[in-house]
Amino acid sequence: SMTKVHVAESTFEVANAALQIKGAAGYVGETPESYAFRKIRGGQIAGGTPNIHRNNMVKSLYKEGLPEL
């Protein structure tokens, strides 16, 4: 789950930055940037949002017992 969160957020940031660089032209039409953004966002939704994976990580910590701090 930690890897999924990191990869999902990192790829989303890169795709979002690419769209920001292109401006409005990046959002309209079939540009590689808009395609990548849609695929990455769709993958996040289909594979579970980063928040869902974070919740799963916390649940597994509680099941295993939290370490002494």
Q: Give 21-43 pLDDT, tens digit per residue.
A: 888 777 777 888 888 888 888 87
Total structural domains in the chain? 1
Q: Report the C-alpha gap between 31 and 24 in whole angstroms.
A: 11
At residue 14, the pLDDT reads: 92
Note the pTM of the prediction, 2 decimals: 0.64
CA dihedral 30, 36, 42, 48 (to 10 degrees): -170
Top-confidence range, 4-8, 12-16, 47-51:
12-16
As a dihedral over the C-alpha atoms of residue 6, residue 35, residue 42, residue 50, rounded to 10 degrees, the angle is: 20
Percent of the chain at pLDDT > 70 equals 93
Question: Which residue range(s) make up the domain with 19?
Answer: 2-64
Work out the number of other CB atoms within 10 angstroms of the CB of residue 61. 11
Mean pLDDT score across all residues of the chain: 81
Q: Is residue 14 part of a domain?
A: yes
